[in-house]
């Protein structure tokens, strides 16, 4: 297990801190500027979801390697209300916040691997990884 950064999310400052940590690690791993921007956008969305729906939680960012490839993994964990209709939140055109947010489908598009686990009244864990090409 390599470098891991934890950022607590309970305010918008936390969102910025998580972005910063993500961009730094992405740059170190060797992602280009477009991918850096994509990764930070994904982190933003995940952190905002925590902030808006669970009030508090954590973003963990780490470097991963698999079959000779390097990548960055983002884990968003909260103990919020959980997601009732998973299929619905993964649908395009559905954003509960009403705004033009990228939402979870956006995060999935920005990253390569995406995993979502949620239990009602327990919380939600989302894992998203992007590989260096």
Partner 1 sequence: MEETKISMYQLYKDMLTSYLKSKSEHALYHAQQFSKEMMEKDMSPEETVSLHLSVFQELAEDLPEEVVDSFDLLLEVMIGYGLAYREHQSLRDRQQQLESELNVAARMQQSLLPRGEISLDSVDLGVISVPAGKMSGDYYDYALDEQENIGVAVADVIGKGIPAAMSMSMIKYAMDTLPEQRTRPAELLENLNRVVERNIESDMFITMMYGFYDPRSHQFYYASAGHEPGFVYDAHNDSFRSLEAKGLVLGVSPKVRYNEDHLKLEVGDFIVLLSDGVTECRVDGEFIEREQLVEMIRKYKHLSAQEIVDKIFLDLEKAQEFQLRDDFTLLILRRKV
The site for partner 1 (CB under 8 A) is made up of 32-34, 37-38, 40-41, 92-93, 100, 102, 105-106, 109-110
101 SS3 class: coil
Return the CA Rg of the chain. Answer: 14
32 vs 122 by CB, closer to partner 1? 32
Nearest to 113 by CA among 103, 128, 126: 128
Least distance to partner 1, CB of residue 102, Å: 5
Q: How far is the CB of 40 from partner 1 (least distance, A)?
A: 8
Q: How far is the CB of 129 from partner 1 (least distance, A)?
A: 18
Considering beta carbons, is residue 1 or 34 the nearer one to partner 1?
Answer: 34
The secondary structure element, H or E, covering residue 20 is helix 12-29
CB 49 within 8 A of CB 77: no
């Amino acid at each position: 297990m390599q470098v891991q950064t934890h950022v607590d999310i309970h305010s918008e400052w936390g969102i910025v801190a998580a972005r910063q940590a993500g961009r730094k690690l992405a740059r170190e791993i060797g992602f280009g500027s477009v991918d850096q921007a994509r990764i930070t956008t994904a982190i933003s969305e995940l952190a905002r979801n925590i902030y808006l729906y669970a009030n508090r939680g954590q973003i963990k960012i780490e470097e991963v390697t698999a079959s000779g490839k390097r990548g960055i993994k983002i884990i968003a964990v909260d103990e919020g209300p959980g997601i009732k209709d998973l299929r619905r939140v993964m649908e395009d055109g559905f954003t509960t916040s009403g705004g033009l947010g990228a939402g979870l489908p956006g995060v999935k598009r920005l990253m390569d691997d995406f995993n979502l686990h949620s239990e009602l009244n327990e919380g939600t864990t989302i894992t998203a990884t992007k590989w260096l090409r």
